[in-house]
């Protein structure tokens, strides 16, 4: 029995003689004074005295957890060094979905009712309306019936008392609508056709295989993998599509509906509990044919998954950084291998990890080298900010101003990209130099002028902007340093008072509906100039958008993290890919202080492969991923002393062996986060070393006080 709790492993329970359980069954069992729901994990160990075991309490009426999902739970637990119960928890997000939904009472017309209606005698208008609604034999709950008949529920009650309608049980939840794979997609270009056929073949043959679909932005990758989805549906199998930010994927959902007649089943954090419960159950019962979701959808109990697609496979939001720290793309590959089914990774800028796997022949690769139809890739130019200086306290350089003017005059749309929310990333006092800092974190507070607050983007701390400097008490002495999207909007409003401007950042866009509205605004050309952060970079297709200006192309290169260059390239390429997606050609201007930087040069020259080869060479030279293995250990305590004490204990017993390098302990760049004081180790290992075994052994040798937390991050992406 595995319980969804951070325990050491599975627990043994007694199975009463008259019951039959098999692995995967959901059962309730006593644990101390509580009854908990868990999953039958296996036979149990023979060396426990039967007399001391407690019996299981109940077997729940749900389909057993599929064996590939149980294997995945064990696999992820062992890979990430997490308790298996913590991983199981992710696969049991909606415990009440394990019980069948209670049926609801519906009302249906009786023979007496039919007769009365035909004779049309002694019926009030309201009663007649209600009977007419029911005349074709359908059943509705009372409230629904009253709504349809525009009357009170008293009318329904009255009809029931007269025996003209009778009650029936109707299922609480209808299965999700079935996508129609027979609908013809668009006619594919020869390149697209070749790629689609290859994917369709893989789906038909079944069997495990990873395919990278590598195509420039706008080349029709989505159309191509839709063909593979259709093939899986034709076989009657389920499909899982992982998208990095499902809340931002309105356009994707629309396209899916246009292609398959109905929308997919969605799985993400914006669902209500009822929706979540319905979705989980529909997946478990095999009724949900296509599920599109964020990373946690990977742990849904598909009984018959035929295909997994990971779109934007390079995207970092697939890495979960809290709780069980795992990478959904990598674990999706694991699930596909356990299932023995194909998986497709899709990107215009594949990760170095994935390209390395292609190089080594572990993954296959399909290319889509050109944009669909007449559309051309945009022209990318650099603006050297050392020479093209903006005016004081302004951030848009003269060449970008000129390009914006031209684009707006031509009646086309433009986008300014700045990956920084709020008004200004730093606020300081002009009198004494005091900088406004988060009380819980080693981080500056970001001014959000629109809300009148200073916010910490790491812990969520927010305070009103004070009148006077907390240090020297001078009033009106604050100066904003650097731009955020709000400040950029201010500059644009001054410069282009006629333009209709909108800002799209995750804090101004509350929820998917608001995002959808904004996207529609751009599509309908109710907006001329869009200012956006990263949320704007992904996936959107705007035919009239011809100019993209990147305000600070260097932003992601600071900090020196392992993937800074790769990530900057991916992001800027993605942003640039928004321009000129149909017949009007696109232009992209990148404002940079480092025009000679390899990332900038690769973007301008379209030299992706050369750039990635150079990146790969650098990583190989330093034994970094994907050529070596990496793990981080983060120790955090309530104060400096406790964090240091445990960090020293770890240092004393750190693994000493060839092929392993332990770096640290060092204060984390975010030395204090949410009030916890943090120390980091980085462990570098040769590919041939079983890093997990080494770490497990190390962790066992160190005693940590209760107030100190130790987190293990295998394949770290964040180095803060």
User: Which residues of this protein are in contact with ligand ADP, per CB under 6 A?
Assistant: 186-189, 192, 215, 217-223, 372, 541
**Residue 330: CB minimum distance to ligand ADP, A:** 22
Distance CA 330, CA 351 (A): 12
**Residue 459: CB minimum distance to ligand ADP, A:** 36
* Residue number, 54 or 258, with CB nearest to ligand ADP: 258
**Residue 458: CB minimum distance to Zn ion, A:** 5
Give 296-325 as a DSSP string. GGGGS--SSEEEEEEETTT-GGGEE-SSS-
**Residue 444: CB minimum distance to Zn ion, A:** 10
**436 contacts Zn ion (rule: CB under 5 A):** no
**461 contacts Zn ion (rule: CB under 5 A):** yes
**Residue 635: CB minimum distance to Zn ion, A:** 19
**Residue 460: CB minimum distance to Zn ion, A:** 7
Q: Under a CB-based contact definition with an 8 Å cutoff, are residues 514 and 488 in contact?
A: no
**668 contacts Zn ion (rule: CB under 5 A):** no
Q: Pick from 456, 562, 643, 682 the residue near Zn ion by CB under 5 A.
A: 456
**Residue 345: CB minimum distance to ligand ADP, A:** 13
220 binds, among Zn ion, ligand ADP, none (CB under 5 to 8 A by kind): ligand ADP
**Residue 455: CB minimum distance to Zn ion, A:** 9
DSSP single-letter state for residue 696: H
458 binds, among ligand ADP, Zn ion, none (CB under 5 to 8 A by kind): Zn ion
Residue of 248, 247, 230 whose CA lies nearest to 239: 230
* Residue number, 90 or 343, with CB nearest to ligand ADP: 343
**Residue 439: CB minimum distance to Zn ion, A:** 7
**63 contacts Zn ion (rule: CB under 5 A):** no
459 binds, among Zn ion, ligand ADP, none (CB under 5 to 8 A by kind): Zn ion
For tokens 């130790």, what's the residue?
A: 710
* Residue number, 288 or 438, with CB nearest to Zn ion: 438
Tokens at 707, concatenated? 């107030």
* Residue number, 446 or 456, with CB nearest to Zn ion: 456
* Residue number, 339 or 456, with CB nearest to Zn ion: 456
**255 contacts Zn ion (rule: CB under 5 A):** no
**440 contacts Zn ion (rule: CB under 5 A):** yes
* Residue number, 345 or 459, with CB nearest to Zn ion: 459
In the shown chain, the binding pattern of residues 393 to 432 toward Zn ion, with x for contact by CB under 5 A and - for none, equals ----------------------------------------
Q: Under a CB-based contact definition with an 8 Å cutoff, are residues 454 and 461 in contact?
A: no
* Residue number, 290 or 682, with CB nearest to ligand ADP: 290
**Residue 459: CB minimum distance to Zn ion, A:** 3
Q: Under a CB-based contact definition with an 8 Å cutoff, are residues 339 and 203 in contact?
A: no
Tokens at 185, concatenated? 């997609």
215 binds, among ligand ADP, Zn ion, none (CB under 5 to 8 A by kind): ligand ADP
Backbone angles phi, psi at 264, to 5 degrees: -80, 175
Number of Cβ within a 10 Å radius of residue 350? 24
Query: 41 CB contacts (<8 Å, ≥6 apart)?
Result: 1, 2, 10, 23, 70
**Residue 213: CB minimum distance to ligand ADP, A:** 9
461 binds, among Zn ion, ligand ADP, none (CB under 5 to 8 A by kind): Zn ion
* Residue number, 441 or 536, with CB nearest to Zn ion: 441
**Residue 228: CB minimum distance to ligand ADP, A:** 13
**Residue 375: CB minimum distance to ligand ADP, A:** 7
Distance CA 91, CA 114 (A): 49
Judged by CB under 5 A, which stretch of 65-73, 125-133, 456-464, 544-552 contacts Zn ion? 456-464
**454 contacts Zn ion (rule: CB under 5 A):** no
**459 contacts Zn ion (rule: CB under 5 A):** yes
Q: Under a CB-based contact definition with an 8 Å cutoff, are residues 365 and 244 in contact?
A: no
* Residue number, 475 or 639, with CB nearest to Zn ion: 639
Is residue 387 within a helix (H) or strand (E), and if so which, with residue range? Answer: none
* Residue number, 329 or 540, with CB nearest to ligand ADP: 540
Give the start-end residues of each E strand in 40-150.
Answer: 58-59, 104-109
DSSP single-letter state for residue 596: T
DSSP single-letter state for residue 188: P
For tokens 């812990």, what's the residue?
A: 459
Distance CA 587, CA 192 (A): 26
* Residue number, 175 or 585, with CB nearest to ligand ADP: 585
Tokens at 296, concatenated? 């946690």
**232 contacts Zn ion (rule: CB under 5 A):** no
* Residue number, 336 or 671, with CB nearest to Zn ion: 671
* Residue number, 215 or 655, with CB nearest to ligand ADP: 215
Residue of 511, 494, 495, 492 whose CA lies nearest to 503: 492
* Residue number, 254 or 620, with CB nearest to ligand ADP: 254
Q: Under a CB-based contact definition with an 8 Å cutoff, are residues 653 and 607 in contact?
A: no
In DSSP terms, 310 is beta-bridged to: 242, 345
Backbone angles phi, psi at 388, to 5 degrees: -95, 70
**153 contacts Zn ion (rule: CB under 5 A):** no
Residue of 659, 716, 619, 683 whose CA lies nearest to 356: 619
Query: 452 CB contacts (<8 Å, ≥6 apart)?
Result: 464, 465
**Residue 609: CB minimum distance to ligand ADP, A:** 18
Question: What does each C-alpha distance from 604 to 269, 383, 569, 572, 576 come to in angstroms?
Answer: 38, 11, 11, 11, 11
Distance CA 486, CA 488 (A): 5
**572 contacts Zn ion (rule: CB under 5 A):** no
Question: What does each C-alpha distance from 49 to 12, 53, 55 come to in angstroms?
Answer: 10, 7, 13
207 binds, among ligand ADP, Zn ion, none (CB under 5 to 8 A by kind): none
Please confirm whether the linkage preceding 205 is cis (ω < 30° from 0).
no
189 binds, among Zn ion, ligand ADP, none (CB under 5 to 8 A by kind): ligand ADP
441 binds, among ligand ADP, Zn ion, none (CB under 5 to 8 A by kind): Zn ion
Size of the site for Zn ion (CB under 5 A): 7
Give the start-end residues of each E strand in 446-597.
Answer: 446-448, 453-455, 462-464, 478-481, 501-504, 529-532, 545-550, 587-592
Q: Under a CB-based contact definition with an 8 Å cutoff, are residues 243 and 312 in contact?
A: yes
* Residue number, 219 or 646, with CB nearest to ligand ADP: 219
Residue of 685, 679, 692 whose CA lies nearest to 656: 685
**Residue 223: CB minimum distance to ligand ADP, A:** 4
Residues at the interface with Zn ion (CB under 5 A):
438, 440-441, 456, 458-459, 461
């Amino acid at each position: 029995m595995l319980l969804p709790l951070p325990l050491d492993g599975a627990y043994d329970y007694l199975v009463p003689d008259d019951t039959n359980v098999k692995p995967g069954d959901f059962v309730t069992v006593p644990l101390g004074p509580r009854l908990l729901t868990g999953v039958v994990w296996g036979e149990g160990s023979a060396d426990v005295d039967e007399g001391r075991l407690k019996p299981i309490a109940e077997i729940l009426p749900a389909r057993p957890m599929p064996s590939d999902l149980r294997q995945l739970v064990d696999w992820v637990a062992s890979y990430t060094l997490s308790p298996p119960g913590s991983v199981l928890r992710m696969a049991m997000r909606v415990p009440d979905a394990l019980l069948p939904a209670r049926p609801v009472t519906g009302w249906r017309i009786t023979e007496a009712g039919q007769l009365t209606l035909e004779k049309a005698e002694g019926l009030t208008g309201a009663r007649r309306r209600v009977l007419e609604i029911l005349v074709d034999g359908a059943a509705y709950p009372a409230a629904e019936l009253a709504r349809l008949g525009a009357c009170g529920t008293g009318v329904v009650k009255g009809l029931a008392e007269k025996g003209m309608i009778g009650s029936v049980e109707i299922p609480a939840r209808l299965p999700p609508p079935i996508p129609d794979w027979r609908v013809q997609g668009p006619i594919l270009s020869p390149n697209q056709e070749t790629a689609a056929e290859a994917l369709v073949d893989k789906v038909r043959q079944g069997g495990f295989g990873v395919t990278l679909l590598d195509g420039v932005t706008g080349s029709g990758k989505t159309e191509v993998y839709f063909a593979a989805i259709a093939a899986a549906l034709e076989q009657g199998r389920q499909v899982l599509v992982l998208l990095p930010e499902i809340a931002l994927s309105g356009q994707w959902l629309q396209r899916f509906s246009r292609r398959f007649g109905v929308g997919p089943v969605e799985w993400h954090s914006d669902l209500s509990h009822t929706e979540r419960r319905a979705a989980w159950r529909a997946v478990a019962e095999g009724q949900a044919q296509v599920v599109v979701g964020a990373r946690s959808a990977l742990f849904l109990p598909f009984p018959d998954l035929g295909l997994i697609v990971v779109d934007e496979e390079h995207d970092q939001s697939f890495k979960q950084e809290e709780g069980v720290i795992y990478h959904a793309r990598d674990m999706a590959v694991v699930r596909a291998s356990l299932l023995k089914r194909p998986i497709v990774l899709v990107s215009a800028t594949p990760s170095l990890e994935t390209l390395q796997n292609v190089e080594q022949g572990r993954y296959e690769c399909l290319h889509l080298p050109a944009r669909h139809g007449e559309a051309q890739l945009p022209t990318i130019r650099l603006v050297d900010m050392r020479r093209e200086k903006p005016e004081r306290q302004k951030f848009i350089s003269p060449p970008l101003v000129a390009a914006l003017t031209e684009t707006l005059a031509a009646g086309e749309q433009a986008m300014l990209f700045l990956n920084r929310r709020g008004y200004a990333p730093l606020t300081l006092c002009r009198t004494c130099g005091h900088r406004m800092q988060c009380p819980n974190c080693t981080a500056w507070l970001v001014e959000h002028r629109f809300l009148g607050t200073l916010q910490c983007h790491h812990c969520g701390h927010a305070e009103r902007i004070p009148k006077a400097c907390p240090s020297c008490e001078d009033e009106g002495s604050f100066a904003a340093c650097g731009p955020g999207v709000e400040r950029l909007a201010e500059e644009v409003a001054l410069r282009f008072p006629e333009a209709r401007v909108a800002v799209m950042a995750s804090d101004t866009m509350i929820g998917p509906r608001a995002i959808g509205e904004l996207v529609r605004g751009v599509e309908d050309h109710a907006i001329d100039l869009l200012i956006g952060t990263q949320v704007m970079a992904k996936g959107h297709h705007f035919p009239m958008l011809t100019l993209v200006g990147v305000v600070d192309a260097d932003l992601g290169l600071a900090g020196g993290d392992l993937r800074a260059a790769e990530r900057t390239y991916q992001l800027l390429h993605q942003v640039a890919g928004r321009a000129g997606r149909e017949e009007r050609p696109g232009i992209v201007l990148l404002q940079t202080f480092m025009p000679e930087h390899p990332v900038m040069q690769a973007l301008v020259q379209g030299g992706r492969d050369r750039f990635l080869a150079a990146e790969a060479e650098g990583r190989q030279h330093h034994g970094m991923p994907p050529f070596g293995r990496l793990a981080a250990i983060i120790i955090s305590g309530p104060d400096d002393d406790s964090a240091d004490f445990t960090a020293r204990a770890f240092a004393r017993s750190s693994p000493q062996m060839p092929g392993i390098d332990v770096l640290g302990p060092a204060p984390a760049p975010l030395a204090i986060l949410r009030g916890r004081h943090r120390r980091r180790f980085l462990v570098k290992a040769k590919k041939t070393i079983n890093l997990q075994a080494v770490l497990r052994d190390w962790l066992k040798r160190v005693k940590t006080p209760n107030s100190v937390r130790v987190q293990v991050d295998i394949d770290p992406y964040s180095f803060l």
